[in-house]
Amino acid sequence: YFLNNSCLSFCPTGYYTNASIRECEPCATGCKSCFAAGADSCTSCHTVGNVSYYLTGVSSCDQNCTDGYYPNATSHLCLKCVSACATCSSPTLCQSCQSVNGVAYYL
């Protein structure tokens, strides 16, 4: 694969393989590594400066986790809250609750 006037057998971290044109192309901003173009193709995130968390399920990087997930500062992953929490700040510390299978949960 072509990158910086060189031919490589695989693309380095920060690039993905574009097999159709046989080139290494850069990952989207915020992605440390990726499998394709676009911000929803990250496999890991940069964590220099502003902390960025990897959003599992959507393969993207962001400074905040989506509802139902909390930021893990050690792994830089958004990890899932327990099922009764709509939002949480740790695995078991709910900030708001949701209904599951018709059963309402309360703080």
Residues 38-94 have pLDDT tens digits of 888 888 887 755 567 777 667 888 878 888 888 887 877 888 888 888 899 888 799
Mean pLDDT confidence for 18-33: 92
Comparing 66 with 18, the larger pLDDT belongs to: 18
Tokens of 17: 């393989």
35-44: b (≥16 Cβ within 10 Å) or e: eeeebebbbb
Nearest by Cα to 43 from 24, 25, 56 = 56
pLDDT for residue 75: 77
pTM equals 0.64
Which residues have a Cβ under 8 Å from the Cβ of 67 and sit 6 or more positions away?
86, 87
Cα 27 from Cα 49, distance rounded (Å): 18
